[in-house]
Structure 1
Amino acid sequence: MKRILPFAAMLFIAHDIHAQKVYSTDQAYKADIKVFVVDQEYKADLLVYKVDAEYKTKENEGKWFFTDAEYKAKKKIYFVDSNYKADLRIYFVDSAYKAGWKDKSKQHIMY
């Protein structure tokens, strides 16, 4: 029993960390995080690559899968229209290898 408990805990944690599933809500008060999309890569805290399948997401690396339902998401985000309103500034990249954190001090936001 002592061996099973740590193993079960690791599975639970690994499953939870694996999810970078986000849902874009239409109301700011429903969101966990307010996000602003910047126009230049160097202005971003996080470079995001949108994946087309849930299994392609990785830990907290900026590979996001947008869900079609709020309950399926790990984080609910709201896109704001001004930089100063945002918790996180992102820039969408065109390749998975470019995704990642530019400002690691904000990495905790997506956990």
Structure 2
Amino acid sequence: MSQKLISQSYGDLEETLKKELPFSIQAYFPVKLLRKGLVTKRIVWVDNWPEFKTVVVSDDKKKNVSAQRAYCYCRNDTDCISILDSMLRHISETLSNSLFLYGKSYIYTICIS
């Protein structure tokens, strides 16, 4: 299950993602901008904090558009795909939208209804 990360933890997450560059780049920059206050209206989701395997940054509310951007990062782990799938389903249900995913080593679209 996914959980929202509180803004006080963005700094710790940013440092961890920075160590895992270039693979974490799609999640690193949105988290960095959120921490600095340059971007708002986003939610950072993790599977488990502080021992996370997957990070997803999505819009913070429902929109009347066909799909929302979601920036993803998964650590190289055998359970990563199933965790990401579970998180994306939960986020999609919460936001009632389809998600357009971005991530290092893969760029693809998943429409979850």
Coarse TM-score class (shorter-chain normalised): under 0.3
Larger Rg computed on CA atoms: 1
The structure whose RCO (Cα within 8 Å, separation 6+) is larger is 1
